[in-house]
Amino acid sequence: MRIAVLPGDGIGTEIVDAAVDVLQALGLPLELETAPVGGAAYESCGHPLPDSTLRVVDAADAVLFGAVGDWKYDTLERSLRPEQAILGLRKHLGLFANFRPALCYPELVGASTLRPDLVSGLDILIVRELTGDVYFGQPRGRRTATDGPFPGTAEAFDTMRYSRPEIERIARVAFDAARKRKQAGSAGKVTSVDKANVLETSGLWREVVTDIAAGYPDIAFEHMYVDNAAMQLVRNPRHFDVIVTGNLFGDILSDEAAMLTGSIGMLASASMNDAGKGLFEPSHGSAPDIAGKNVANPLATILSAAMMLRFSLGQPAAASAIEAAVKNVLAQGLRTADIHSNGCTLVGTREMGAAVVRAL
């Protein structure tokens, strides 16, 4: 099993180091190859996603990714900024299905900004379409306006677009996931989020998801406008089981859902293509302000490694073992700064990683 390890920028190195230690403690035949990405790759190779890194990625069965980005690259032209690495990898590997679970661990229920009675037991899966929408739609660019209210002035434009097959495949992924979760005791419900009262793309989205839903009579199904979904997520988050939505709405709602759990530092994510190859990364970013200080929470990355074992490497038992080890260290009262509360033991990135290895 070959894994491309791309630590990236900021806290990326520390959290990926911790996850690699956990993977190596499993005693599985894993071959890890590390390559630079993001700002780190721009520094060493002049490009955030160099060909040498793409070769490592192409030769691997799965990608373990840290985080990219730093304010110091904000003035670079867009094509050289660290974020282009993650967008380029999604496109290159065809990673159209992004799974972002938002899970409230019982030990951390007090860490949420919402009342414990609203978030306790929360277990939502956001399925975000990841290779279409306004993120990748052409044409896009800048020009001088020839019409509209201010002709002759600078304007910029992006194109929101979705085709029927793109919507069909992400809808199937969401309904399949809902079915699997139902077998494990979840509600078995899909909420499709769009803006069909305004947008053409959402009109098609709604039509296609409704067609796919007909093939899943065992799964409850509803449509919701994105503004209402943003509100319901903080009003009554346990209303949701699986949410399926487009790239842009999914970007926004997944950050919102992550924060409900009180701990974006705990949340893993998987981005999959249709061949089962995936990129696994924490839901949070590179946090340059705390980089190198041994304070970042490595658990989201460790849990992403567990997702990698389950989704791409066919090792569900090893995945469950890691998830159990994470629950174990939380039960021991170990906390990094982001999830710390009175009566718990404050630990650093390395200590948290080592505790997971011990629990394993």
For the bound state, the minimum distance from the C-beta of residue 283 to Mg ion, rounded and expressed in Å, comes to: 8
| Helix (H/G/I), strand (E/B), else coil: 272 | strand
Strands 97-103 and 123-129 come out as antiparallel
Active site residue 255: yes
Nearer Cβ to ligand IPM (84/336): 84
Question: For binding to ligand IPM (CB under 6 A), which residues are involved?
Answer: 83, 86-87, 251
* Residue 327 annotated as lining a ligand binding site: no
Nearer Cβ to Mg ion (147/289): 289
Handedness of CA 7, 10, 15, 18 (dihedral sign): positive
Nearer Cβ to ligand IPM (223/284): 284
For the bound state, the minimum distance from the C-beta of residue 285 to Mg ion, rounded and expressed in Å, comes to: 8
For the bound state, the minimum distance from the C-beta of residue 107 to Mg ion, rounded and expressed in Å, comes to: 26
* Residue 274 annotated as lining a ligand binding site: no
Active site residue 195: yes
CA distance 271 to 107: 27
Catalytic residue among 9, 17, 70, 195: 195
* Residue 148 annotated as lining a ligand binding site: no
* Residue 297 annotated as lining a ligand binding site: yes
What DSSP designation does 121 have?
T
For the bound state, the minimum distance from the C-beta of residue 82 to ligand IPM, rounded and expressed in Å, comes to: 8
For the bound state, the minimum distance from the C-beta of residue 325 to Mg ion, rounded and expressed in Å, comes to: 27
Using CB positions, name the residue nearest to ligand IPM.
83
Beta-bridged to residue 57, according to DSSP, are: none
* Residue 227 annotated as lining a ligand binding site: yes
Nearer Cβ to ligand IPM (86/119): 86
CA distance 231 to 331: 32
CA distance 201 to 209: 12
Nearer Cβ to Mg ion (99/175): 99
- With CB under 5 to 8 Å by kind, the binding choice for 158 among Mg ion, ligand IPM, none is none
* Residue 214 annotated as lining a ligand binding site: no
Burial 251-274 (b: 16+ CB within 10 A, else e): bebbbebbbbbbbbbbbbbbbbbe
Name residue 70's amino acid.
Answer: D
Which single residue is written with the structure tokens 């696994």?
280
- The phi, psi pair for 260, rounded to 5°, reads -60, -35
Question: For binding to Mg ion (CB under 5 A), which residues are involved?
Answer: 251
Active site residue 251: yes
Helix spans in the chain (H): 12-24, 39-45, 51-59, 83-93, 116-119, 164-183, 200-213, 226-235, 247-260, 299-311, 316-331, 349-359
Binding-site positions read: 90, 100, 128, 227, 251, 255, 285-297
Binding-site positions for NAD(+) read: 285-297
Catalytic positions, please? 135, 195, 227, 251, 255
